[in-house]
Amino acid sequence: MDAQRKVLLVDDDEAPLGSAAARLRVEGYDALLVSDSQSAIARLDAFEPDLIVVGLRLDGLDGIVLFGEIFKRNPFLPVIILTQQGAMPDSVDTIRQGSYEFMEKPCVVDDLVERVSNLLQTGCDCSVEVKAEMVEAWRSEIISRSPAMDELLQQAKLVADSGATVLIQSESGTGKELLARALHKASSRNGGPFNAVNCSAIHENLLESELFGHVKGAFTGATNDHKGLLQAADGGTLFLDEVGDMPLGVQAKLLRSLEEREIRPVGSIRSMPFDVRIIAATNRDLEAAVEQGEFREDLYYRLKVISLELPPLRERREDIPMLANAFLEEFARMNNRSARRFSREAMDALVSADFPGNVRQLRNVVQQVVALSAAHVIPGALVKRAIKGDSGDLLSLAEEKERFERNYLIRVMKISNGNVSHAARLAKRNRTEFYKLLGRYELNPQEFRSAS
């Protein structure tokens, strides 16, 4: 059973809201009526309302201050604003981000009570979303409404067309790849390809040939000429994800290529020009990596011509409802489930969670919740359980990748009865490389033979 819900009513004209407060109390709410915005602000922390009804004339500073204080505490607290016929307070335009509903004055007490009850039952109507048509196409996949993201996207738009190399530094799961794609779309290179490569997932030799290409016979297994990603992205953009994990040898070759605007495929004696915009991303502290000798300082400055930082999700909680609702719709559609919504308690749990895995983790949580519940209104308890389970087991991306790689090697070694050549063929790696991988994970081929 929900605790008694609290409604704060703010109006200098006692009569209408006074009767509404009385009715709300009869209906079982804890209703508190105050007569000006200063008193309302003073009561926000102690009273902790679940909903606020504002009947004041809120033009000018008064409204801006009140809405600012409400927004600071909880950007999704539902607020019903009673307006004079047709008039919208200026302050509402200034602070658009909140969850506001409007009713015209004078309003019927029954209608107001019904609206309060609906809003509290169904959770916040987060429909104050940026309308799809208002979102510019280049950033249409990036769901956000927070001022921090707005600022970042404005910067991104300004630099998109400069052609300069961009370094995106931020935590894992914050949307670095989405931002890189958006930068590409906003640039005049948008007619060209957008290629992405994850520099930490690929072994050094392979990464070199992936980036720069190789010629036939360059190494065992190089049976044909192979076009590298830098060449394949000609006229477009190459996204170097996890650039902080790029091996030093490849860093040196990349730096040379960027300086000379030429690439030389592995095993070739000829260099060729290329025209590619580089966007690099990392969740590592690259400056620290430079100090520790793990990342070349000259390459760091070469990449960091323009530096962008995506804020972690916990620093832009205003984005959570919009993201959660979009993921909910997406997964409900994918699972052929009818439209859903989060209960107020569920949304509160999402908005207050820490999400160390950022947007990716929020997405996972919503996916789980959709799979586990057929209810139309998603209950808070389910969301809380999903958040707890997800953060408890959350490994860093590097740890998760290592775990995957080790398990994969064990599988192929078992399938091949410990025969390394066979296993290497299955994994499409050459033997030397495969031996190195086994060594890295301390896997002894002998053990797989005797086990069989």
Ligand X SMILES: Nc1ncnc2c1ncn2[C@@H]1O[C@H](COP(=O)(O)OP(=O)(O)OP(=O)(O)O)[C@@H](O)[C@H]1O
Nearer Cβ to ligand X (65/178):
178
As measured in angstroms, the least distance from the Cβ of 54 to ligand X is 31
Nearer Cβ to ligand X (79/199):
199
Among 348, 356, 252, which Cα is nearest to 295's? 252
Q: Is 142 in the site for ligand X (CB under 6 A)?
A: yes
**Contacts with ligand X: how many residues (CB under 6 A)?**
17
Q: Which residue is nearest to ligand X (CB)?
A: 175
DSSP letter string over 102-121? EEESS--HHHHHHHHHHHHH
As a whole number of angstroms, the distance between CA 377 and CA 329 comes to 13
Q: Is 169 in the site for ligand X (CB under 6 A)?
A: no
Nearer Cβ to ligand X (174/205):
174
* Stretch touching ligand X by CB under 6 A, among 42-50, 119-127, 174-182, 423-431: 174-182
**Rg of the chain on CA atoms, in Å:** 28
Q: What is the DSSP letter of 205?
A: H
Answer for which of 105, 203, 360, 401 binds ligand X (CB under 6 A) is 360
Among 177, 282, 183, 191, which Cα is nearest to 233's? 191
Q: Is 177 in the site for ligand X (CB under 6 A)?
A: yes
* Stretch touching ligand X by CB under 6 A, among 47-55, 169-177, 211-219, 258-266: 169-177
As measured in angstroms, the least distance from the Cβ of 199 to ligand X is 11
Among 223, 219, 216, 215, which Cα is nearest to 205's? 219
Q: Is 368 in the site for ligand X (CB under 6 A)?
A: no
Among 31, 149, 8, 30, which Cα is nearest to 78's? 8
Please state, in angstroms and as integers, the Cα–Cα distance from residue 429 to each residue in 230, 425, 437, following that order: 22, 6, 10
Contact mark string toward ligand X, 70..89, x via CB under 6 A: --------------------
Nearer Cβ to ligand X (209/358):
358
Q: Identify the burial level of 337 via C-beta atoms within 10 angstroms of its C-beta, where 0-12 means exposed, 13-18 middle and 19 or more buried.
A: middle
Answer for which of 74, 172, 364, 416 binds ligand X (CB under 6 A) is 172
C-beta of residue 49 within 8 angstroms of C-beta of residue 8: yes
Residue with tokens 């008694």: 4
Q: Is 175 in the site for ligand X (CB under 6 A)?
A: yes
Q: Is 178 in the site for ligand X (CB under 6 A)?
A: yes
Of 281-300, binders to ligand X (CB under 6 A) are: 283
In angstroms, how far apart are the furthest CA atoms of the chain? Answer: 89
Q: What is the DSSP letter of 219?
A: S
Answer for which of 202, 280, 359, 383 binds ligand X (CB under 6 A) is 359
Distance from first CA to last CA of the chain, Å, rounded?
A: 58
Nearer Cβ to ligand X (67/331):
331
As measured in angstroms, the least distance from the Cβ of 397 to ligand X is 5
C-beta of residue 375 within 8 angstroms of C-beta of residue 339: no
Of 232-291, binders to ligand X (CB under 6 A) are: 241, 283
Instruction: Using CB under 6 A, list all residues that contact ligand X.
Output: 142-144, 172-178, 241, 283, 323, 359-360, 363, 397
